[in-house]
Structures are given as structure tokens and as C-alpha cells.
Chains A and B, each alone.
Chain A
Amino acid sequence: MGLFTELKDSISRVTDRLFSEQEPKRIGIYGPPNAGKTTLANRIARDWTGDAIGAESHIPHETRRARRKEDVQIERNGKSVTIDIVDTPGVTTKVDYEEFTDEMEHDDAIRRSREATEGVAEAMHWLREDVDGVIYVLDSAEDPITQVNTMLIGIIESRDLPVLIFANKIDLDDSSVKRIEDAFPQHKTIPLSAKEGDNMDEVYDNIAEYFG
């Protein structure tokens, strides 16, 4: 983007802010490691702002710091909603560095596990203090009934945060959206493939409706 358009853009964003009643809502993208949170965050950011948020990887705990993308403006049915997206580290109750030693050197595995534990703690902190709504991302090819998912959904509910459940990776053969709907019938589940970009219209409709 050229300097001029960038300037114009940020001025119009400032004026949008001044005339809108509130700050953009901060939407935290939560879920277990490797569910596709960053892939989703990158897709949303790329679709609406042009740039990405962070690195994606098949190795769990790729995201070890919460990362925020501000002022993501989503246009839906002639209306526009502005949100801040927070991509968070995958939450777990255990981290064993030996899980990474096949993929990297011993010292790097130890460093990754240490950063991962800090990242999980940080994600929990954001959830208690700093988010206004949650997109909970699950890998629909995996069993959704895990203790971490049950606990996190419970924590989100206890804070009365609006939440959408995203059943990701529907492009995989083992994917079952129904298994997720059955596990969390109290919440709306939206199927998608963040990687392939499948069903993103429904994703954006729901984001605009729930968090706008």
C-alpha cells in the first residue's frame, strides 16, 4: 500500500472510531494446539486487511505469544463491523519437550516447551481479562470431548463471553461436524476449512452477527 492510501486509510479508520459508539471488540481465537487457529486468523486478516498474523505449523505450540491484529473491518450485507483479532497459543494442561525432539534439536525442543508453557499461561490471562468474545476452534477430525475443551468452554461460559465454535478441517476425510455439535449443543457450531477457505461466507456472516 502506498503512503498516501495508507494515510488516508488510517485517517478514515480514526474517524470511523470517533463516530462509532465503542471500541472494536476484541475477539480471542482459542482452542487446543494444532486446531488451525493461526491458519484461520491469517485467513481473516488476509481477506480483510491484506496481511497475515503469524506462522502456521504442523508442530503443536507454533504460536507461543498472543498476537493481536487491530481494526479488522468486515463488510457484510452493506454493514461493516470492526473487530480486533487475537490469535492465542493452544491451551493444554501438559507440555513434554520430548514431543518435539523428532522435529528439532534437543535445546530447541526445550526452548519451545518453555515458551509454550508461558504462552498457555498468557492465553489464560487474556481469557480472564482482555477479550470480549471467543471463536473456539476445533479440529473436526479429532474427538472434541477432551478435558481441555470442556474446561475452556466452561471458563468462557462462566465469563458470559459470546462464543462461536468453529469446526475446522472439514476437508479431511475423518472430519465430523456432528460430533462437535453433539458435544457442545448449547453453542452454535460453524463448519469450515481455514486452509482451503471453505464456507468462509458463513463464517463472516456469523462473526458480523455475533460480534458486531
Chain B
Amino acid sequence: MPKATNADDSDGSDGVQIDLISGERMENMATMEKIRMILDGVHDGNIVILEEGLSPDEESRLIEVTMSEISPDEFNGIEIETYPKSKANDSSLLGRIMGNDESTAKLTVIGPANQIETLHKDETLISALVSRD
């Protein structure tokens, strides 16, 4: 899997780098490490795909840190899409008390707001347009 440090390789080329990050790799990371990894990738213009997504608390911190890094003409923030959790009941109180391993496992796509545009989204498909800049 490409590391953030490989991002330099894509500079100068025409491609858009996509980082697919496994649930396993995220498992032992602290919240801020995950957020740093995501935002470092996005700052480099990459599309970051998380196999297992973030917990609600991590999402709330991701929004907060993203806001603190927005800067006119440089960084407009992020576009983020996740598959809806398999409907209704898995956000039950019991489910959450039992640990939210299951309920946070949702594929998540994150990219720079000025480069990624969601074209279509439904329960089984996310279609996005990625521009080089």
C-alpha cells in the first residue's frame, strides 16, 4: 500500500493518487494519527479510501481539524462520502454498548473539496468525478 511519503512520486505526473487504507492498518492508530494520515493525503491531492471508516467521534474531530486547516486559495476542505450503515437498527444502544466495531465499518471516500465531486450516490454505489486540479 502506498504510504503518505510516496506522495512526492505523484507530483509532476498527471495522475491522481488513490490510497486504499485497510481496516487492519487503522486498527491500532490513535484518532489524531488517523486524521493526520487522511488530511496529509488530501493535502497532497490524493483520494483516500478507508476500508472501515471512522467512528462518529473521529468524524467530528475530522471536521474540526479540517476547518482549522482551510486556507483561502490553498485548501477548501474535504469532500467525504460513506455508504450508509446497513439501515435502521445497527445504531441501537445495545449495539453501541457492545462495541462499535460493526457499526463503524463503512467504506469511506475522502478527497480535496476542489478536486472531487460526487456525481451520484445510492445505497450500493458512489460515483465521483476527480479532476487533476
- Mark A residues whose CB is within 8 Å of B: 91-97, 110, 113-114, 117-118, 120-121, 124-125, 127-128, 145, 147, 150-151, 154-155, 157-160, 185-186
A154: nearest chain-B partner, CB-CB: B56
B contact residues around A154 at 8 Å (CB): 56, 59, 91
Q: Using a Cβ–Cβ cut-off of 8 Å, how many residues does chain B contribute to the interface with A?
A: 29
Across the interface, do B70 and A155 meet the contact criterion of CB distance under 8 Å? no
Across the interface, do B70 and A117 meet the contact criterion of CB distance under 8 Å? yes
Across the interface, do A95 and B77 meet the contact criterion of CB distance under 8 Å? yes
B112: nearest chain-A partner, CB-CB: A94
A contact residues around B96 at 8 Å (CB): 158
One of A94, A110, A117 near B68 (C-beta < 8 A): A117
How many A-B contacts if CB must be within 8 Å? 82
23 contacts between A and B (CB under 8 A): A91-B63, A94-B66, A94-B70, A95-B77, A96-B114, A114-B72, A117-B68, A117-B77, A120-B63, A120-B64, A124-B61, A128-B60, A151-B59, A151-B63, A151-B82, A154-B59, A155-B59, A155-B60, A158-B55, A158-B56, A158-B57, A158-B96, A186-B91
Chain B 63-94 against A: per-residue CB contact (8 Å), 1 yes, 0 no?
Answer: 11011101010001111111010001001010
**Docked pose: A112 CA to B106 CA in angstroms:** 34
Across the interface, do A93 and B55 meet the contact criterion of CB distance under 8 Å? no
One of A113, A117, A151 near B56 (C-beta < 8 A): A151
In the complex with contacts A93-B66, A124-B63, A147-B80 CB distance below 8 A: yes
B contact residues around A91 at 8 Å (CB): 63
* Chain B nearest CB, measured from A114 CB (Å): 8
One of A97, A117, A151, A160 near B67 (C-beta < 8 A): A117
Apart from A124-B60, A128-B57, A150-B84, list 19 A-B contacts with CB within 8 A. Answer: A93-B66, A93-B77, A93-B79, A94-B70, A94-B77, A94-B79, A95-B77, A96-B114, A117-B70, A121-B68, A124-B61, A147-B79, A151-B56, A154-B59, A155-B59, A157-B56, A157-B91, A158-B96, A160-B93
